[in-house]
Amino acid sequence: MHKYLTCVLSTAIALVALSLPANAVDGEITREITSNEILELAARGDTLWMVTANGLNYTLGDNQPLQWWGYKTNIYDEFHWDVDSGVIHFGIAIGSELALVPKALPENNEPNGIWTYDHATDNIRSIDLPWNREKFSESLRDSVSLNTRDIVWTPEAFWTATENAGIVRLEPEDIRGGIPSPSVAYPGIDSVFAFDNFPPPAFDSLFTPSKKVVRIGATFDTAGNTTLYAVTAPRVYTFSVQNDAWDTLGTTLSSSNDSIERFIEVFARRRNSRDQILAICQIESKPKLCIYDTTTASWTRLISNTVHDMSFGDSDTVYAVTQAGEIEAFAIGTKDKLPISEDFAQRLNQADPNIQVPAVEDVAFERIDSSTAYMWIATTDGLYFSTDPREDEREKQPLTREHRAPALESGLQRTYFYPTILAPYQTNQRGYFAYNLSESADVTIAVYDWNMDHVKTIIENEPREKGSDRRDGRSTIKLEDHWDGNDRHGKPVAPGVYYYKISSNKGERAFGKIVVAK
């Protein structure tokens, strides 16, 4: 008897233990897009990383359909969110599938460190750089900010922009497993210091708060020439990795009566042995995209609209993402606007005519070879991409939409309405019913109020396919079965909780909840 009791108790304890989280990490490894709100892209070859509102994702473009790996977490708690440009930056290494993201800025003055995701091992690591404040002089010890703001990858290393301590070099191998042994380069000091030797004795005399590095860019070529571009508010510093030498770019704005109030972000690439340098500059209190002319050492405004992000395109093309969520394209050489903007909206719409054209957050173009090129477009409602290698965007085929559509168990075992909180009083918003039939059937969806009084029949005996044959595992496509918060007479219902019933003529049925907000 005692033996059986022990066995039962052990089983019960084991079941309880199994039901507990496996570890204490906030996020979880996932094999789907973590959110359809995609904030930032980074592409190298056919590898694409993206930061979404709910985590980090990774895919290889040579898998069709795309397969996703990722880490789901509250990005605003985990990653650094920059208040200026509202974007998150990270670096990746070709072939190693390793992403680095600055961790969220802590409330105290402690360094934030770096967060890494290694796809090869699905390993999530938090790295704190071994800063030692005691090495700074007393006047700087408490005030110096050692937060990591941005990360860029070059073939040699990862480079992080550290607010008051210049650029930190991190070796990928160290980051992957070992104890990092970084080195530091500070604007104006033509040397690279081992961490133990930083800051150097002359640091106090060279230190100024305005040298707060907030963004970093890099160019490199096959000959081993690497240049880093460190953005501070008043100017952009350059650092030659081979020569350990610092310089600055000019700060004047040509062909305009305006001036650059501050630099926000820099984008650079090497093409035909020359660096193409663009920056988002604040002009007239608005972020504008400027291009740098090395011969005149001055900047030229490239686009009149305010800019949110940009990416280099094929050959001479630059894609700018405006703050209105649209894409505009320019030729770097002539600085002419290319007539493709309308086509992008059209192509986004063609990719999925059932949804409204979403706002573009970021764009990335990557040419693999003469027959393969990827155009990745991050939007507020999914990722769009094309593999059409032609340069002229007007001629390209419609884009393909990739989005997160969590598979729903068949047989209406799980249904939901999203957004659960409808705000029709404020936005004329409507929400959608997500469900998955186990077999194709005629479906009726009706909405009821708290007293189960009938409010509206959404669809009545409409044929719907079983979801298991569809890629996203649902029987309705977005916008197909929706409710706008009006009753059967077209009048808005009162704020409160409403209940829906989905039933099929094959006997399946499910219920769910909808909140109508004031």
Residues that bind another protein (CB under 8 A): 35-37, 53-54, 74, 76, 81, 86, 359, 380-381, 404-406, 416-423, 426-427, 429, 431, 434, 446-456, 487-489, 491-499, 501, 511, 513, 515-518
Least spacing, CB of residue 496 vs another protein, in Å: 6
What is the Cα–Cα distance from 113 to 86, expressed in whole angstroms? Answer: 19
Least spacing, CB of residue 488 vs another protein, in Å: 7
Of the two residues 374 and 417, which places its CB atom closer to another protein in the complex?
417
Query: Using the 8-state DSSP alphabet, how is residue 79 labeled?
Result: B
- Strands of the sheet containing 123-127, edge to edge, are 91-92, 98-102, 114-118, 123-127
Of the two residues 271 and 425, which places its CB atom closer to another protein in the complex?
425
AA identity, residue 269:
R
What is the Cα–Cα distance from 511 to 401, expressed in whole angstroms? Answer: 30
Least spacing, CB of residue 354 vs another protein, in Å: 14
AA identity, residue 99:
A
**What DSSP element (H or E) covers 333?**
none
Of the two residues 209 and 496, which places its CB atom closer to another protein in the complex?
496
What is the Cα–Cα distance from 432 to 481, expressed in whole angstroms? Answer: 6
What is the Cα–Cα distance from 233 to 287, expressed in whole angstroms? Answer: 13
Of the two residues 366 and 381, which places its CB atom closer to another protein in the complex?
381
Name which of 315, 325, 328, 250 is nearest 289 in CA terms: 328
Of the two residues 45 and 419, which places its CB atom closer to another protein in the complex?
419
Of the two residues 212 and 404, which places its CB atom closer to another protein in the complex?
404
Least spacing, CB of residue 328 vs another protein, in Å: 21
Least spacing, CB of residue 416 vs another protein, in Å: 5
Q: What number of residues does the chain have?
A: 518
Give just the sign of the alpha carbon dihedral 327, 332, 338, 344: negative
Of the two residues 158 and 498, which places its CB atom closer to another protein in the complex?
498
Least spacing, CB of residue 511 vs another protein, in Å: 5
Of the two residues 144 and 327, which places its CB atom closer to another protein in the complex?
327
Least spacing, CB of residue 406 vs another protein, in Å: 6
AA identity, residue 496:
G
Of the two residues 3 and 518, which places its CB atom closer to another protein in the complex?
518
What is the Cα–Cα distance from 352 to 401, expressed in whole angstroms? Answer: 7
Structure tokens belonging to residue 378? 């991050």
String of b and e for 3-13 (b: at least 16 CB within 10 Å)?
A: eeeeeeeeeee
Name which of 167, 175, 135, 132 is nearest 150 in CA terms: 167
Of the two residues 141 and 488, which places its CB atom closer to another protein in the complex?
488
Of the two residues 93 and 434, which places its CB atom closer to another protein in the complex?
434
CA angle, 323 then 92 then 313, to 5°: 45
Cis ω on the peptide bond leading into residue 389 (within 30° of 0)?
no
What is the Cα–Cα distance from 377 to 321, expressed in whole angstroms? Answer: 10
What is the Cα–Cα distance from 22 to 144, expressed in whole angstroms? Answer: 38
Least spacing, CB of residue 500 vs another protein, in Å: 10
Name which of 173, 206, 176, 174 is nearest 185 in CA terms: 206
Least spacing, CB of residue 513 vs another protein, in Å: 5
User: Residues near 95 by Cβ (< 8 Å), separated by ≥ 6?
Assistant: none
What is the Cα–Cα distance from 408 to 166, expressed in whole angstroms? Answer: 49
Least spacing, CB of residue 191 vs another protein, in Å: 40
Least spacing, CB of residue 27 vs another protein, in Å: 13
Residue where the block lists tokens 């610092």? 246
What is the Cα–Cα distance from 112 to 277, expressed in whole angstroms? Answer: 29
Cβ pair 240, 159 in contact under 8 A: no
Give the Cβ contact number of residue 340 at 10 Å.
20
3-state secondary structure of 399: coil
Least spacing, CB of residue 379 vs another protein, in Å: 10
Of the two residues 63 and 420, which places its CB atom closer to another protein in the complex?
420
What is the Cα–Cα distance from 187 to 182, expressed in whole angstroms? Answer: 17
Of the two residues 206 and 497, which places its CB atom closer to another protein in the complex?
497
Least spacing, CB of residue 494 vs another protein, in Å: 4
3-state secondary structure of 385: strand
